[in-house]
Structure 1
Amino acid sequence: MGDLMGLNFRSIFEVTDDEWLSGLNLSKDEIPDVVILEGSWWRAERQALRLSALTDVRELGFPDIFWGKHGDKKVVFCMAYGAPRAVEISQMFAQLGCKLVIQIGTCGGLQSYLAPGDIIVPDHINCQDGVAEHYVARKTTRADAAWVNRAKSALTAQGRRVHVGRHITFSSLFAETVEMYERWHNEGALSVEMEAASTIAAAAKYGVPGVAMVVVWDELTAGRRFMDPMSPQNLAELEISNKAVFDAALTLTEEIL
């Protein structure tokens, strides 16, 4: 073992607020009220659509992180695919003192009564993504109960079918197996995706509430994955709900005090 005398190891957990603000080209009075993250392959399309709903938009000092306004509220939006990227955005802004972190995106449905376009608002999330586990004492994290209820109300007000319950965050869409689906189904989990646990767990480490709203795309109990054909009606429901989760995120933003 080498001699450690004189070395000064430093982790990301020790980066100061001022250092983050400098790197982000952000002033203290611009710290966002809400951070919205979305995981999707369709990055350019989704990013353009989401940012068009905000005003005063600008990219911050680190790439692909955008600051804007919704009314009088300050919002950060980032397309963050997978837990390793999502955790960076959530941790950074939770440390700086944002008031709410919201994860949106799509998921695979693990119960046969779920249809494309249904929306899952997880309350308990099982952390199997390889990242969230480093932020929790056990392998589960919880979305903030009050914001779960507000999210459900905002979505049902848009006529969406909403399910609140257990959810899985896993490390990779490509590494999921039929055996995993069967086990998660039998355990009563509603759905699986790749970001929510890390987004919420990292925020909770700094006392910031988090909530997720994810749209059912894959019908895993029927063997239908995202690459398989979908009926025109189901495709339309999926698109309506993809819009609804961002609209609901903006509604929650308006409710921040």
Structure 2
Amino acid sequence: MRSPPSATTRKSQDQSRVCLLCAPRPWETTCFGTPEPTAGLSRVNSHLACVLGARCAIFIGTCGGLLDDAAAGDHIVPDAVYADESSTRAYEGPAGDRLHRADPSVSRRLTMALTGVGCTVRRGLTVTHQAQLAESWADIQAWHKAGWAGAEMEAASVLAPAAAFAVPAGAILVIADNLVAGQSVFDPEIREGRTRRRGALADAYKVALPVILTHPDDATAPFASHPSPQEAAP
């Protein structure tokens, strides 16, 4: 069952989008980056990497915070991401499940690594909402009431293809602004916090690379591409 597409969230001018996708051997690790947020390109990169035999996928990006005490520069490692967007519909199961789960072992390792370098890390559910600036105050309040930790534009489009190919995947999101506090990327204090956000993204890259190079533990196994979603389906 396919659900109609919906639309997402404010993003900072200096945001960075990267999907780290690890092949079986360290020298086959691929890092795909896009200068602008684009769920479609994130999905294609994730899908292609899985076809080529990726063993792990990690998405790194920024998000709008949905927790009362969320601060710009804090990290979120989502346990699962709700797809309020259209590109992931091709990967939904028969029941049309739009909640795409991160691999628990990948998320645990990312959390431990971030905590180990002194980062503030939050766990929970987040939402991928694809139309930048199109979220309403009612959307934000509903997400906050549901207990979701953040809203962004691409994470589900990385997790969904990875799950379809049975590739463990996770995400690190850096909070750019606090949506429930009424903050906007156009606010002076948010612009002035650019250095901290960039530092938080640098920390995310720093901890993600060792995880993706060593996950799973048999990362030196011979190269083997994964079956297509259709072949992997029961």
TM-score interval, normalised by the smaller of the two chains: 0.7 to 0.9
State the one-letter code of the partner of 1:210: A
Q: Does 1:162 align with 2:121?
A: yes
* Contact preservation (8 Å) 1:40, 1:79: no
Counterpart secondary structure, 2:188: coil
Q: CA deviation at 1:200?
A: 0.6
TM-aligned CA distance change 1:184 to 1:154, over 3 Å = same
Contact 2:84 2:129 in 1 (8 A): yes
Of 56, 62, 71, the residue aligned with 1:106 is 62
* Superposition TM-score, scaled by structure 1 size: 0.71
The separation in 2 between residues aligned to 1:231 and 1:66, in whole angstroms, is: 27
Q: 1:83 aligns with which of 36, 39, 43?
A: 39
Q: Which residue pairs with 1:74 in the alignment?
A: 28
User: Which one of the candidate residues 80, 91, 100 is aligned to 1:135?
Assistant: 91
- SS of aligned partner of 1:244: helix
Does the C-alpha gap of structure 1 residues 228 and 112 become closer, same or farther in structure 2, counting only changes over 3 Å? same
Kindly tell me the number of residue pairs found equivalent between the two proteins.
Answer: 200
- Partner residue in 2 for 1:212: 171
Task: In structure 1, list runs of 5 or more residues that go unmatched.
Answer: 1-38, 51-64
SS at match of 1:201: helix
Q: Greater CA radius of gyration, 1 or 2?
A: 1
Structure 2 portions without partners, runs of 5+: 1-10, 220-234
Q: Is the 8 A contact 2:129 2:152 kept in 1?
A: yes
Cα distance in structure 2, aligned partners of 1:232 and 1:78: 26
1:126 is aligned to: 82
Change (3 A) 1:231 1:141: closer
Deviation per CA, 1:138-186: give whole Å up to 9, x if none.
1111000000000001111110000111000011122111110000000
Name the amino acid aligned to 1:230: E
**CA deviation map 1:52-74 (0-9, x unaligned):** xxxxxxxxxxxxx99999x9443
2:206 corresponding residue in structure 1: 247
Relative to structure 1, is the Cα distance of residues 231 and 96 closer, same or farther in structure 2, using a 3 angstrom cutoff? closer
Check conservation: 2:20, 2:59, Cα contact below 8 A: no
Alignment CA distance shift 1:145-1:86 (3 Å) = same
Measured after TM superposition, the shift of residue 119 of structure 1 is 0.3
CA contact (8 A) 1:165 1:190 kept: yes
Amino acid at match of 2:83: C
Relative contact order higher in (CA < 8 Å, ≥ 6 apart): 2
Q: Contact between 2:75 and 2:119, CA under 8 Å: does it hold in 1?
A: yes
